[in-house]
Amino acid sequence: MTTRSVYTVRGMSCGHCATLVSEELGALGGVLKVEVDVATGRVMVTSADPLPADRIGAAVGRLGYELVR
């Protein structure tokens, strides 16, 4: 069973930003797929199990972006 979660990330402005976020979140344990829409700031994470939002927030925070709650 997989879990899909949608987050809003503030501060992304280009394709490079999307790549950085995709790679950072994709490196988290259990993450199977990451889809980023820079225009809306939406990030969809598909994972084997639910991930705590604080793990997602910490990962994007390391890149200088902000998870909007």
Domains contained in the chain, CATH given: 3-68 (3.30.70.100)
Q: Convert 29-42 to b/e letters by CB count within 10 Å (16 or more is b).
A: eebeebebebeebe
* pLDDT score for 1: 84
Cα Rg for the chain, rounded, in angstroms? 11
* pLDDT score for 8: 98
Q: 18-46 pLDDT, tens per residue?
A: 999 999 999 999 999 999 999 999 999 99
Q: How many CB atoms lie within 10 A of CB 50?
A: 12
What's the helix, strand, coil split of the chain in %, to 5?
A: 30, 35, 35
Are 62 and 7 contacting, i.e. CB atoms less than 8 angstroms apart?
A: no
